[in-house]
Amino acid sequence: MSAAVPASLTIRRPDDWHVHFRDGAMLAAVLPHTAAQFARALVMPNLVPPVTDVSAARAYRERILAARPEGSDFKPLMTCYLTDTTRPDEIEAGFAEQVWLGAKLYPAGATTNAHHGVTDIAALAPVLERMERIGMALSIHGEATDPATDIFDRESIFMEETLLPLLKRHQGLKVVLEHITTAETLDIVRAHGPRVAGTITPHHLTINRTSIFQGGLRPHLYCLPVAKRERHRLALRKAATSGETCFFLGTDTAPHRRGDKEAACGCAGLFVGPTALQTYVQVFEEEGALHHFEGFASLNGPNFHGIPVNAGTIELLRRPGRMPAAVAVEDTEVVVYRGGEDLPWSIGRVAA
């Protein structure tokens, strides 16, 4: 534990390198929460239908910009959803025209709206070669997809069977392993840096697999990749707070309507956007690593992707705060991770 906790911490404005904004009423309801904390966010393309070409990405970006609160300078960074039929020329065009910054690889069926994902990753070689050539990053949801595979082993099996061969085939490709959940995946990132990086969510730093069953089944703690054992959570906390530049912030905020979570077959995804920075900074304080927070939140991501860091600052206050337990969407609501709880940190002034 650090001896003296400051009353506030001012860092360069951070970016969220993994968000699900959805569309329509949900987009309008959730976007302000991310825009209040982050200057930019990498927007996941798993809409229905997914964002697979330049014109769809451009149109989605416009809808996001239109949903921003009055006066917001929030900037969405788009991604292209890779499928079996993605063309290298399309990938390059969207990158050259600065419509998207990266591409997202969902193994087919791995998670929410991933059924259009890639069935044969080796066959993606022409696309990946092109990305390698133009310096465009590949973001990967790294889980094996065979439904018979134990859900707690899906990340490690994907890494061994699919990711390591892919890294060998494409030695210059920039890869982000998203929402890392195991100690072994952290080590894979370390071994392949600096062209491989990893993002870490607030929830995987604060819950383990037992939390999902604490006192009963807790659907609002169910996400993919599912939280793992405590030893993994502790390894994630060490990695995030270590100062290693290959790890950075990506919340995987993934809103679902209450009824879609509290169901016989509930959706995967946690709505962590409104409490994201409060949770991360609390973890850094608990690990005695507040001096590494700015790197994780605001510097390592832009440096990896090759874009400038943000100009402004955000102030985090060591002052109790509370976010709403849920956010209204049409006639229902989305439950907020750690919403309604007293959190030790709150958000202060943002200076553009």
Active site residues per annotation: 252
By CB under 6 A, name the one of 42, 56, 197, 224 that touches ligand NCD. Answer: 224
As measured in angstroms, the least distance from the Cβ of 117 to ligand NCD is 11
Token digits of residue 254? 């993934």
Nearer to ligand NCD, 268 or 309 (CB): 268
Number of residues that bind ligand NCD (CB under 6 A): 11
**Residue nearest Zn ion (C-beta atom):** 252
Nearer to ligand NCD, 15 or 244 (CB): 15
223 forms part of the interface with ligand NCD (CB under 6 A): yes
254 forms part of the interface with ligand NCD (CB under 6 A): yes
Nearer to ligand NCD, 42 or 240 (CB): 42
Nearer to Zn ion, 12 or 116 (CB): 116
> Footprint of ligand NCD on residues 26-55 (CB under 6 A)?
46
> Footprint of ligand NCD on residues 98-137 (CB under 6 A)?
111-112
20 forms part of the interface with ligand NCD (CB under 6 A): yes
As measured in angstroms, the least distance from the Cβ of 320 to ligand NCD is 28
Nearer to ligand NCD, 105 or 316 (CB): 105
141 forms part of the interface with ligand NCD (CB under 6 A): yes
Out of Zn ion, ligand NCD, none, what residue 112 binds, judged by CB under 5 to 8 A for its kind, is ligand NCD
By CB under 6 A, name the one of 108, 268, 326, 350 that touches ligand NCD. Answer: 268
Out of Zn ion, ligand NCD, none, what residue 294 binds, judged by CB under 5 to 8 A for its kind, is none
Phi, psi values for residue 343, rounded to 5°: -105, 140
Contact present, 39 and 310 (Cβ < 8 Å)? yes
How do 137-140 and 100-105 pair as beta strands? parallel
76 forms part of the interface with ligand NCD (CB under 6 A): no
227 forms part of the interface with ligand NCD (CB under 6 A): no
Out of Zn ion, ligand NCD, none, what residue 196 binds, judged by CB under 5 to 8 A for its kind, is none
**Binding positions for ligand NCD, rule: CB under 6 A:** 20, 46, 111-112, 141, 223-224, 252, 254, 268-269
